[in-house]
Amino acid sequence: MTTEKTALSADDINRVLTRMAYEIMEIHKGVKNLALVGIQTRGVYLAKRLKAKIKEIEGESPLIGELDINLYRDDWTQIGHSPVVKPTEINFFVEGRKIILVDDVLFTGRTVRAAMDALMDFGRPGKIELAVLIDRGHRELPIEANYVGRFIDTLQTETVNVMLTEHDGEDRVVVK
């Protein structure tokens, strides 16, 4: 029997996203030439929330996009023969832009590698950064987030589940 531990409540998620938005604005000094690109699925919702918080802080919003990385994964054949491909919507020029990839959990780093490969198909960004709600360690690739909501120590065998209202009906992060 696995036990479930709540790592972040809805209030915790809201607080860390607010802090991350301030950190992003402190570094970037505004939204000029900045875009948030959420990695499907929950990264998209987190990017939209960060965009709203940045608008509250700055009075203007960064550009936003959605990126599906399923066909760029190095393990897609292990997941299934017919991966479910979700929308990719990047309706701005990537070339030379400062892009912040947004995802829910940073684990091995393979999702982020795939996201960078997918993003490069749209052009050559001036800079790519990474914002994640949870960094749980156990990297297999030399990838590190620039903005982290919370570091959570986990065993490699544990799972971290991020639940967001837009997709799951509630905001909560649990470790099983």
Structural domains of the chain sorted by starting position, each given as residue range(s) with its CATH number in brackets: 5-175 (3.40.50.2020)
Tens-place pLDDT, residues 13-49? 999 999 999 999 999 999 999 999 999 999 999 999 9
How confident is residue 102, by pLDDT bands cut at 50, 70 and 90? Answer: very high
Tens-place pLDDT, residues 162-171? 999 999 999 9
| pLDDT score at 35 | 98
Query: Does the pTM of the predicted model rise above 0.85?
Result: yes
Show the CA angle centred on residue 41, arms to residues 164 and 122, nearest 5°: 140
C-alpha–C-alpha distance, residues 153 and 149, integer Å: 13
Tens-place pLDDT, residues 110-152? 999 999 999 999 999 999 999 999 999 999 999 999 999 999 9
Placement of tokens 């991350």 in the chain: 20
C-alpha–C-alpha distance, residues 84 and 103, integer Å: 18
